[in-house]
A and B are shown apart, each in its own frame.
Chain A
Amino acid sequence: MSKKIAIRDAYGEALLELGKKNDKVVALEADVGGSTKSILFGKEFPDRYFNVGISEFNMVSMAAGFATADFIPFVNTFAVFMTTRGADPIQSLIAYDKLNVKLAGTYAGLSDSYDGASHQAITDIAFVRSIPNMTVVSVSDAVETKKAVEAIADYDGPVYLRLSRAPAPVIFDESYDFKIGKGVELRSGKDITIIATGTILHNALEAAELLKEEGIEATVINIHTIKPIDEEIIINAAKQTGAVITAEEHSIYGGLGSAVAEVLAKNCPTPMDFVGATEFAESGDYDQLLEKYGYGAKTIAQKAKTLIDKK
């Protein structure tokens, strides 16, 4: 297995580097700076770092104020609190006025595994994706994280950046060309397409390996931008393989799977299945949770085989 780097560390360093390049970048934090790694920015730029304590509604609303005054606020907290406690200003201030705010929701999916379901985010994508004007980015490894931070800073508008707590295998190298809204095909096969977002992308690639052992050729696509979604790459893959599985550490209702299904229903109806949450998880070891709740490579491969039989 390739080297693992924690997404949150990659994010913290990327934010720090961005702060060095652009003095319009400010960072807001709600007392979890040691976890989100926004503290790296805070130590270097104390005048542009605002730790407002445990007040997420306030923090997200403040970011709107900074954006109207031409700063680029990066807002940091756990994904679950960002999109529940901060939901109101995300929708009615930031998205409504298309403000240039970057909402970095970390510890997404089950990655805050030991803290339990209360701290795991399985509904965040569904919320932000449904709001007009929002761009939604979900990253799978350290390289993609760094490139995504740079790209969303260059983009003028509201972005939700979904980050994991977990150490994730490095999939991409420095030559990786990250473009908002552009999906990435990592593997090409004729029998089935696996579309993934976030760190589960690695499991999707493993699943493709397992399928290969049984003579099944899978296409694997990384959809890092869930909104606006790359319709072309999805439609083409569906046409070529005739079956599509989505994989995400998120509810199967309203997340990547729903987004892909919307594209295919409209353009190219295709048999589908979904890997994702249908229930709250629990406390425990992250890898064990992924296995227990059906996010593992074996589950993805099994669902793929079942789907192929239905073609």
Chain B
Amino acid sequence: MTKERKKELQDLCLKFRNDLIDILYSIQTGHPGGSLSCTEIVTTLYFDKMNIDPKNPKKEGRDRFIMSKGHACPMLYLNLAEKGFFPKEDLKTLRQVDSHLQGHPCAHKTPGVELSTGPLGMGLSAGVGMALSEKLKKTGATTYVLLGDGEIQEGGIWEAAMTASKYKTDNLIAILDYNGVQLDGTLEEIMPMGDVEAKFKSFDWNVLSCDGHDVESISDAIDKAKESKGKPTIIIAKTEKGKGVSFMEGKNIWHGKPISEEDYKAAKAELGGER
């Protein structure tokens, strides 16, 4: 990745963080922690990796992204709007009556959203279905699934993991937003997941890791994942919940807490000041 490209993506991420805080502050609802955690991952996918066409969202042979940890959808919406799937002014209608931007991703309302998610643990199975479809159609398209680390406590994830390896879906790339924090506390406190890498390896997955806040590290890991032959890949992206706003970082209370005026000002100061 060139320095210029890296800077471009980093600037975009900073802009998205600012916009996210603005929107969530204005609507007084939504999930800041998980959205900030996956900023670089989603932005790298949409602005560096995925073959998609905002003018033709259903284009045959496109890459697909499933935000399986659906509560982080504000970051998805910011990316889709920036790409041109819908007007940016729609973003302020998030979670409001008559908006196409639902509290959790809704594929039949929002252009560019490939699958409705929210209830956790289904995105990986649906991703296996999409990946197998693209194999039947021989399009060469890649299916990406973003998983939360709390989400992988759902049993369905491991059903999907078995199935993906049985059918050798090497066109499926899962990315784990591994921030170590879930709604009620840390993973260690609530439900320790142990050695996630070993778990996926034992399910016969190609397991890679990256710095989930370094766009170049994410991009390189995806390139490597695409070289996998006969195995699905999971990229374990080390992240921090609430990344970029110091008082939100690593704090489970920021999973879905409304942002007060005082916190808003402090967050904006850290992210580049009031606009």
Residues of A at the B interface (CB closer than 8 Å) are 26, 47-48, 50, 52-53, 55, 57-59, 61-71, 73, 88-89, 92-93, 96-98
* B132, B160, B166 interface centre (most CB from chain A within 10 Å): B132
> Which of B116-124, B196-204, B205-213 is the contact stretch?
B116-124
Tell me if A53 and B162 are in contact (CB < 8 A): yes
| A93→B133 contact, CB < 8 A | no
Q: Which of B191-247 contact A (CB under 8 A)?
A: none
How many Å from the CB of B126 to the closest CB on chain A?
Answer: 4
A3 to B64, CA, bound (A): 50
Q: How far is the CB of B218 from chain A (nearest CB, A)?
A: 24
The residue in chain A whose Cβ has the minimal distance to the Cβ of B127 is A65
B122–A97 CB distance below 8 A: no
Q: Are B126 and A71 in contact (CB under 8 A)?
A: no
Cβ of A73: which chain B residues have Cβ within 8 Å of it?
129
Choose among A48, A62, A98 the residue that contacts B125 (Cβ–Cβ < 8 A). Answer: A62
User: Are A65 and B159 in contact, CB atoms less than 8 angstroms apart?
Assistant: no
In contact, A61 and B116 (Cβ under 8 angstroms): no
Expressed in whole angstroms, the Cα–Cα distance for A90 and B239 within the complex equals: 32
Q: What's the Cα separation between A290 and B159 when bound, in Å? A: 37
Task: Show 16 A/B contacts (Cβ-Cβ < 8 Å), sorted by A.
Answer: A48-B136, A50-B132, A52-B159, A52-B162, A53-B159, A55-B159, A55-B163, A58-B125, A61-B125, A62-B126, A64-B126, A65-B143, A67-B129, A68-B130, A92-B116, A93-B116
B residues near A, CB below 8 A? 64, 106-108, 114-116, 118-119, 121-122, 125-134, 136-137, 143, 155-156, 159-160, 162-163, 166-167
Q: Are A92 and B107 in contact (CB under 8 A)?
A: no
Q: Is the interface of B mostly helix, strand, loop or mixed?
A: helix
Complex CA distance for A62 and B163, rounded to whole angstroms: 10
Q: Which residues of B contact A96 (CB under 8 A)?
A: 106, 108, 116
Residue from A47, A48, A67, A93 having most chain B Cβ neighbours under 10 A: A93
Would A58 and B156 be within 8 Å (CB), given that A48-B136, A97-B115 are in contact? yes
| A52–B78 alpha-carbon span in the complex (Å) | 36
Complex interface: chain A residues within 8 A of B118 (CB): 92
Residues of A within 8 A of B136 (CB): 26, 47-48, 71
The verdict on A69 contacting B126 (CB below 8 Å), with A58-B163, A92-B118 known, is: no
> Looking across the interface, which residue of chain A has its beta carbon closest to that of B134?
A69
Given A58-B156, A97-B108, are A65 and B129 also a contact pair (CB < 8 Å)? Answer: yes
